[in-house]
């Protein structure tokens, strides 16, 4: 696993992009909470060159397709698709069981598909090192969405617009010849976690699981925590991303893995803890037979598990993780890999 983990050096561009969260929100003024807040919440041009310089998967030795989505409102979004193949020896991927008469398309259809939603800075290319772990180590298909107004995608970002983009991506994957029967897992970092929760709440029938990293209860509720002096003016924030109200709409048989950096300087730890409390209530409210929560501490991380008859959700805290480096903390990718593997085991046992 260690050879495939995204090193601090390999995700330099990724970190530069996501650090825009802190830079953007740190400059919010009372007036800008309403006027021009989209430019602060979605700093797609930071770091400089992010709108034109978009790394390609081939730069990291990954074969890929580049589907261009066209949204219902007519915008073109160039995206990346990493489709599994039976023979992945060219990237030294672990072998998995295949049938001799099975085509690459049939093989890909049996593998999980990760639908990636990135944070609010940089572009889709900055997250390729993370996609590589899913693709190579876990043998997952990966679809990387480029939001409107990001990278080379057309348009300007907004909550409503990105919701349209996410739905368009899900519809594409769901209708793809090789992916239509693949279990779909949403992976969202920071604001991408809010995108994932919103999409799952509107398409529970199409989603197998969610993986959420360092996301928030809602943007208006983030303002008082991060900037107490602006608390009284949080109502001016019209970009809501209200995850707290949407998680209860996600059925209990959809497991959720939550990954939280305890030292997160952008999204206070309490937000992930608050979302976890809602996940727990979602389970206990809908089932009378729920196992008690199990809490363990090991190797710099705290693991909270809650299991019911339909799902296994987990909340993991990384003691040294900050907003932009939680994904390189010890145990992060092992936790993710175990979660993905557990989905396959349950899926097999349910059929």
Can 190 be counted among the known catalytic residues? yes
> b/e per residue, 182-211, with b = 16+ CB within 10 A?
bbbbbbbbbbbbbbbbbbbbbbeeebbbbb
* Distance in angstroms (rounded) separating the CA atoms of residues 174 and 239: 28
Can 243 be counted among the known catalytic residues? no
Q: Give the distance from CA 216 to its chain's centroid.
A: 13
CA dihedral (325, 320, 278, 207) in degrees, to 10, reads: 40
Q: List the catalytic residue out of 44, 50, 153, 190.
A: 190
Q: Give the distance from CA 100 to its chain's centroid.
A: 34
* Distance in angstroms (rounded) separating the CA atoms of residues 134 and 341: 12
- Whole-angstrom distance between the N-terminal and C-terminal Cα of the chain? 30
* Distance in angstroms (rounded) separating the CA atoms of residues 293 and 296: 10
User: What interhelical angle do 269-286 and 219-226 show, nearest 10?
Assistant: 140
Spatial CA neighbour of 212 closest among 194, 238, 234, 233: 194
Q: List the catalytic residue out of 165, 198, 264, 308.
A: 264
Per-residue DSSP letters for 39-106?
HHH--TTTTTTTTT----GGGGT---B--EEE-TTS-EEE-EEE---S--GGGTPPP----TT--HHH
Q: List the catalytic residue out of 198, 243, 323, 325.
A: 323
Can 325 be counted among the known catalytic residues? no
Per-residue DSSP letters for 201-254?
HH-GGG--EEEEES--S-HHHHHHHH-GGGGGGGGG------HHHHGGGS-TTS
Which residues are marked as active site? 190, 264, 323
């Amino acid at each position: 696993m260690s050879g495939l983990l995204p090193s601090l050096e390999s995700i330099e561009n990724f970190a530069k992009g996501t650090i825009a969260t802190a830079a953007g929100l740190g400059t919010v003024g009372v007036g800008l909470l309403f006027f021009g807040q989209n430019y602060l919440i979605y700093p797609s041009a930071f770091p400089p060159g992010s709108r034109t310089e978009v790394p390609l998967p081939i730069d990291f030795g990954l074969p890929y397709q580049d589907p261009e989505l066209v949204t219902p409102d007519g915008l073109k979004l160039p995206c990346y698709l990493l489709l599994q193949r039976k023979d992945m020896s060219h990237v030294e991927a672990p072998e998995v069981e295949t049938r001799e008469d099975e085509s690459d398309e049939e093989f890909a259809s049996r593998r999980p598909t990760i639908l990636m939603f990135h944070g609010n800075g940089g572009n889709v290319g900055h997250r390729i090192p993370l996609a590589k772990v899913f693709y190579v180590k876990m043998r997952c298909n990966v679809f990387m969405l480029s939001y409107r107004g990001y990278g080379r995608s057309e348009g300007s970002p907004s909550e409503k617009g990105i919701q349209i983009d996410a739905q368009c991506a899900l519809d594409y994957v769901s209708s793809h010849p090789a992916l239509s029967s693949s279990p779909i897992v949403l992976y969202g970092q920071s604001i991408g976690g809010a995108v994932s929760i919103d999409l799952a709440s509107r398409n529970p029938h199409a989603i197998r699981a969610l993986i959420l990293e360092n996301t928030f209860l809602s943007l208006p509720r983030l303002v008082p925590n991060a900037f107490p002096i602006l608390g009284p003016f949080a109502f001016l924030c019209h970009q809501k991303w209200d995850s707290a109200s949407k998680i209860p709409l996600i059925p209990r048989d959809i497991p959720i893995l939550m990954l939280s950096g305890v030292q997160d300087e952008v999204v206070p730890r309490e937000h992930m803890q608050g979302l976890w409390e809602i996940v727990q209530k979602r389970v206990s409210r809908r089932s009378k037979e729920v196992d008690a929560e199990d809490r363990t501490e090991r190797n710099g991380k705290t693991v909270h598990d809650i299991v019911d008859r339909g799902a296994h959700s987990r909340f993991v805290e990384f003691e040294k993780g900050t907003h932009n480096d939680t994904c390189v903390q010890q145990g992060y990718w092992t936790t993710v890999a175990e979660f993905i593997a557990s989905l396959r085991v349950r899926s097999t046992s349910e059929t």
